[in-house]
């Protein structure tokens, strides 16, 4: 029907734009808009002077090679919402020498474009090629009909976002094009092959918001120029370094799987880096630390892979593709670099350079890179310990905590095995020793990791902080801290109760102690597990403590931990003071001396808890309200000086110096001594009896021999001659 209508209009010479029910044009028939489900092909009845054509909400099924032959003046073509469009011939736009903008959008049935788009011809270039939000499954072919001129002059901006493209590979149909931008965002791209768009010059290449996992090491190696690269919100684990020498802007937001970057010398011209992890910016801040070789050494050192800056030459490197075909990474172009780079450099692709001979100007350039997110107070560019003093005390603290608390556990286990249980006190102190042992394990994990990553922590920071090791260390730290706190509170309750009720003959019974410790274990495990469920996080810092304050849940969690510690400090101090006043009020012989002994011990208990918990409370509360008093570098001193105080002091305060434990040990030693003495007496008695018996037997044997001799002589004397 529409074909018949177009034919009648053409035969009748009806002026387009006035009586055409499908197309509306302006007065001089230069801008036309055709709308309607009756449009099943490109209109052929419009005047040849049309420069702008929009086809909207049509039932087009194909764009054929000669569909725009009648409109040589077209500058702008837009085909929108053609749900049935399945085929587009790229050659249909080749005769349009004035075409600047081509848009085909909202065509969900369009799977591929036949042929290659000629971006530049003898009279001009297509400046915008918008093929977004269709059903394309591959990148269309792109070519130029004329030789490239000045860089990016007449370059095309191509938008292929929102399609269904699954892979980008080396295409023989796309060679030597100039692109202002190639946008491949929000597709289904999972891999990028080697040597894409060989010989092309691209200002912006965007792969963001794709399930991209694999990028070939030489994916960008055959590009002449690449200025900006966006791989945000992908899932890549490795970033190729070849072809990025002239990159100026790199964007890697939300790429949580990219734990390490290539050497910074892969980015010779980089100005802006938008990254995911703050520690990756340390690569640029610490670049001077890696340039340790002097000019004299640089003149002698040669690496296997190198670049000579002047005329760009890269050692030939053959790579086998998956299909068995071999191609070379040698670029077919030469470019003259600025004078500052005309020195011997290690090839940026080397994962571990053999020697770094870097011009001072290049180091300055890399140090001026605007990198974000910048290292902050929680994640500075330093090692885990940060200072030799912290490193030494960390080792000392964990060794004392582990040895001391293992000794307590072994002591109480030994007493129980010997039939001398220490009762409720031993049960509570054993729980405390286990909690403090966990603190020693936490410090040991940090100390070992610090030694492994010393001097190069930024290379391992993301792996450590986002990995199982840091989560495990953080869980152990919070579990240990909370269980130790609850157990110390339980011990103070027991001492207070026993002191108060001793006048009436009551004591702290086993069921109460077991219930209290059961609650303590449950609460400790719950509080330690919450950061694993994204209520705060253990990955905020290198020391794996949950100090993130970004959300209400983060702050509520921090406030809960710190208020519990504040309550524990106050309650334990109150209990011990009350115990002292209760005992000092009873006037017994030598009461004054006993009061002083108890006062000193209780003061020591209160002071160790105060020194251990108060810095944590003050610093934590200041961080929770958004006004941290100290940065993480300074807090590490408190971590090794104050945080493990209880873990190292508790074995001596609650176990080794306990009168109950001392009494049980003395009783056991006395029993062992008594048994030993009895054994020695028995041994001596048995030895004496054996000696007497042997002597008697010897005497009897001698008498028998004598009798035999006498009898023999007697018999001889009686014998007749």
Give the mean model confidence (pLDDT) for residues 257-285: 87
pLDDT at 33: 92
8 A C-beta contact, residue 214 and residue 231 = no
To which residue do tokens 């107070």 refer? 377
DSSP, residue by residue, 255-295: -TT---PPPGGG-TT--EEE-S-GGGGHHHHTGGGG----H
Lowest-confidence region among 382-396, 478-492, 593-607: 593-607
Segment among 203-212, 309-318, 374-383, 632-641 with least mean pLDDT: 309-318
* Exposed / middle / buried, residue 293 (Cβ in 10 Å: 0-12, 13-18, 19+): middle
Structural domains of the chain sorted by starting position, each given as residue range(s) with its CATH number in brackets: 1-20+38-97 (no CATH), 111-372 (3.80.10), 388-657 (1.20.1070.10)
Burial-class residue 390 by CB neighbours within 10 Å (0-12, 13-18, 19+): buried
| Secondary structure class of 141 (helix, strand, coil) | strand
Predicted pLDDT of residue 675: 65
Q: pLDDT tens, 393-412?
A: 889 888 988 988 888 888 77
How far is the C-alpha of 458 from the C-alpha of 448, rounded, in Å? 16
pLDDT above 80: residue 298: no
Q: What is the dihedral of CA 102, 103, 104, 105, to 10 degrees?
A: 170
Which residue would you say has higher pLDDT here, 190 or 668? 190
Whether the model clears a pTM of 0.75, i.e. scores above it, the answer is no
Question: Out of 129-133, 317-321, 700-704, which region has the weakest mean confidence (pLDDT)?
Answer: 317-321
Q: Across residues 616-644, what is the average pLDDT?
A: 68
Q: Binning pLDDT at 50, 70 and 90, where does residue 102 land? A: very high
Q: What is the pLDDT of residues 178-214, one digit of tens each?
A: 899 999 999 999 999 988 888 889 999 999 999 999 9
The C-alpha atoms of residue 412 and residue 681 are separated, in whole angstroms, by 31
pLDDT of res. 420: 62
Secondary structure of residue 226 in the 3-state scheme? strand
pLDDT of residue 592: 45
Residue from 366, 131, 176 nearest 266 by CA: 366
Q: What is the mean pLDDT of the chain?
A: 76
Asked whether residue 7 carries a pLDDT value surpassing 90, the answer given is no
pLDDT at 15: 46
600, two tokens: 């000193």
pLDDT at 308: 41
Is the model more confident about 587 or about 399?
A: 399
In angstroms, how far apart are the furthest CA atoms of the chain?
187
* Angstrom distance (rounded) from CA 719 to CA 721: 7
Q: Do 258 and 239 touch, CB atoms closer than 8 A?
A: yes
pLDDT in tens, 17-60: 445 778 898 888 889 999 988 888 899 888 888 999 999 999 99
Residue 628 clears pLDDT 70, i.e. is over it: no
Q: Is the confidence at residue 14, as pLDDT, over 60?
A: no
Instruction: Tell me the pLDDT band of 353, cut-offs 50, 70 and 90.
Output: very low
- Assess whether pLDDT exceeds 70 at residue 142: yes
Does pLDDT of 636 surpass 60?
Answer: yes
- Specify whether the CB–CB gap between 539 and 278 falls below 8 A: no
516: how many CB neighbours lie within 10 A of its CB? 20
What pLDDT sits at residue 563? 87
Please report the pLDDT score of residue 331 as a whole number: 37
For the record, the structure tokens of 270 come out as 């980089």
Cβ proximity of 444 and 472 under 8 Å = no
Residue 172 has pLDDT above 60, yes or no: no
Q: Are 152 and 128 in contact (CB under 8 A)?
A: no
Query: What value does the mean pLDDT take over residues 321-340?
Result: 38
pLDDT surpassing 50 at residue 82? yes
- pLDDT tens for residues 508-560? 778 888 999 999 999 999 999 999 998 888 988 888 888 888 888 888 888 88
Mean pLDDT calculated for residue range 427-434: 86
- With H, G, I as helix, E, B as strand and everything else as coil, classify residue 214: strand
Considering only residues 117 and 616, tell me which one the structure prediction assigns the higher pLDDT.
Answer: 117
């Amino acid at each position: 029907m529409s074909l018949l209508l177009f034919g009648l209009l053409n035969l009748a010479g009806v002026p387009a734009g006035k009586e055409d029910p499908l197309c509306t044009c302006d007065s001089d028939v230069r801008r036309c808009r055709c709308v309607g489900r009756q449009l099943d092909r490109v209109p052929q009845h419009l005047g040849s002077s049309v420069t702008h054509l929009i086809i909207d909400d049509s039932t087009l099924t194909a764009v054929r090679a000669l569909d725009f032959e009648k409109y040589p003046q077209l500058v702008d073509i837009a085909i929108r919402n053609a749900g049935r469009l399945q085929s587009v011939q790229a050659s249909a736009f080749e005769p349009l020498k004035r075409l600047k903008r081509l848009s085909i959008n909202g065509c969900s049935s369009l799977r591929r474009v036949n042929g290659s788009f000629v971006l530049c011809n003898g009279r001009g270039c297509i400046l915008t090629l918008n093929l977004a939000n269709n059903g394309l499954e591959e990148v269309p072919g792109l070519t130029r009909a004329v030789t490239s001129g000045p860089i990016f002059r007449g370059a095309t901006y191509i938008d292929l976002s929102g399609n269904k493209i699954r892979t980008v590979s080396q295409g023989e149909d796309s060679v030597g094009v100039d692109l202002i931008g190639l946008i491949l965002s929000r597709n289904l791209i999972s891999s990028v092959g080697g040597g894409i768009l060989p010989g092309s010059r691209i200002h912006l290449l965007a792969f963001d918001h794709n399930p991209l996992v694999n990028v070939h090491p030489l994916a960008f190696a055959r590009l002449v120029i690449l200025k900006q690269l966006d791989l945000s919100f992908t899932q890549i684990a490795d970033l190729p370094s070849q072809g990025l020498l002239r990159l100026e802007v790199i964007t890697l937001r939300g790429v949580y799987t990219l734990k390490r970057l290539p050497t910074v010398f892969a980015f010779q011209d980089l100005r802006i880096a938008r990254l995911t992890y703050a520690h990756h910016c340390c690569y640029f801040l610490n670049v001077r630390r890696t340039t340790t070789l002097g000019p004299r050494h640089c003149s002698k050192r040669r690496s296997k892979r190198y670049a000579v800056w002047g005329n760009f030459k890269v050692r030939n490197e053959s790579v086998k593709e998956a299909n068995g075909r071999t191609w070379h990474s040698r670029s077919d172009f030469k470019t003259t670099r600025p004078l500052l780079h005309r020195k011997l450099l290690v090839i940026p692709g080397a994962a571990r350079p053999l020697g770094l001979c870097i011009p001072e100007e290049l180091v300055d350039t890399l140090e001026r890179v605007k990198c974000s997110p910048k290292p902050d107070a929680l994640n500075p560019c330093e090692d885990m310990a940060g200072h030799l003093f912290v490193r030494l005390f960390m080792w000392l603290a964990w060794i004392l905590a582990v040895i001391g608390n293992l000794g307590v556990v072994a002591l109480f286990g030994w007493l129980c095995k010997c039939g001398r249980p220490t009762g409720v006190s031993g049960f509570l102190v054993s729980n405390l020793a286990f909690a403090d042992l966990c603190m020693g394990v936490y410090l040991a994990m940090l100390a070992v990791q610090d030694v492994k990553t010393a001097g190069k922590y930024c290379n391992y920071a993301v792996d450590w902080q986002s990995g199982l090791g840091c989560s495990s260390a953080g869980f152990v730290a919070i579990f240990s801290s909370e269980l130790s706190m609850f157990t110390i509170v339980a011990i103070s309750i027991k001492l207070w109760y026993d002191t108060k009720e001793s006048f009436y003959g009551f004591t702290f019974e086993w069921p109460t102690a077991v219930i209290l410790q059961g609650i303590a274990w449950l609460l400790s495990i719950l509080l330690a597990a919450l950061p694993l469920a994204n209520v705060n996080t253990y990955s905020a810092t290198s020391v794996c403590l949950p100090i993130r304050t970004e959300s209400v849940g983060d702050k509520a969690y921090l406030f809960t931990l710190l208020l519990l510690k504040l309550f524990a400090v106050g309650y334990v101090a109150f209990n011990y003071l009350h115990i002292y006043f209760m005992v000092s009020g009873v006037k017994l012989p030598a009461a004054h001396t006993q009061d002083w002994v108890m006062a000193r011990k209780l003061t020591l208990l209160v002071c160790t808890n105060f020194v251990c918990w108060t810095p944590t409370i003050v610093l934590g509360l200041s961080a929770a309200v958004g006004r941290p008093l100290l940065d993480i570098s300074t807090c590490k001193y408190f971590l090794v000086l104050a945080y493990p105080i209880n873990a190292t002091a508790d074995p001596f305060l609650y176990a080794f110096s306990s009168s109950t434990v001392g009494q049980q040990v003395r009783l056991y030693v006395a029993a062992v001594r008594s048994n030993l003495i009895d054994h020695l007496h028995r041994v001596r008695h048995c030895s004496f009896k054996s000696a007497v018996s042997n002597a008697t037997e010897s005497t009897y044997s001698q008498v028998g021999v004598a009798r035999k001799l006498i009898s023999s002589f007697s018999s001889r004397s009686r014998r007749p001659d």
